[in-house]
Homo-oligomer: A and B are copies of this chain.
C-alpha cells in the first residue's frame, strides 16, 4: 500500500497566527509542530511545481500508480467527483493518465498512468526529498522514537 499524501490546497502560502504565550514545553512543541508541517507542505508543493504539476495533479497522479476508478479517487481525495473528472481530463490531455472502460461495469472508468505519467511521477517523487531527508538526519533509535511520538501525539 502506498503512503498517501494529503495536499488539500497546498497552493496557498498563507499563515495563521497563534497568540504569543510564555515559552512552555507545550508551546515550544506547538511551534515545532507548525514549523515541521509548514516545511513539509512547502517541500511538497515545490516538488510538484518543479515538474509542472499542480498539487492536485500530483495527488491524482500519485494515486493512480495502481488502477483506480473516478469514484475511488474522489473518495480518497475527499472531494467532489466532478472535480476529479476535471483533473483527470487535464492529466489525460497531457497524456499522463489514461481512462479505460471497466468491462465489469460500463458506467465506470479505470484510470491508469501512462508510461510518461510513470516517468514524470517518478521524477517528482525523487525531488520530494523532505521526508527522506528528515528520516536520514536521525539515527535509527531516533527514527523509532519520532515515529512513536508522532503516533502518540495523534492519539493513535
Shortest CB–CB separation between residue A34 and chain B, in angstroms?
A: 5
Q: Could you tell me the distance between the alpha carbons of A9 and B12 in the complex, rounded to whole angstroms?
A: 4
CB–CB A18/B55 < 8 A: no
Which A residues are closer than 8 A to B by beta carbons?
1-20, 25-42, 44-45, 55-56, 58-60, 62-63, 65, 76-79, 125, 128, 131-138, 140, 142-147, 149-156
CB–CB A153/B140 < 8 A: no
Q: Could you tell me the distance between the alpha carbons of A60 and B17 in the complex, rounded to whole angstroms?
A: 8
List the B side residues contacting A4 at CB < 8 Å.
Answer: 15-18, 34
| Among B58, B140, B154, contact of A134 (Cβ-Cβ < 8 Å) | B154
List the B side residues contacting A143 at CB < 8 Å.
Answer: 25-26, 28-29
The CB with the most chain B CB atoms within 10 A, among A29, A45, A137, is that of A29
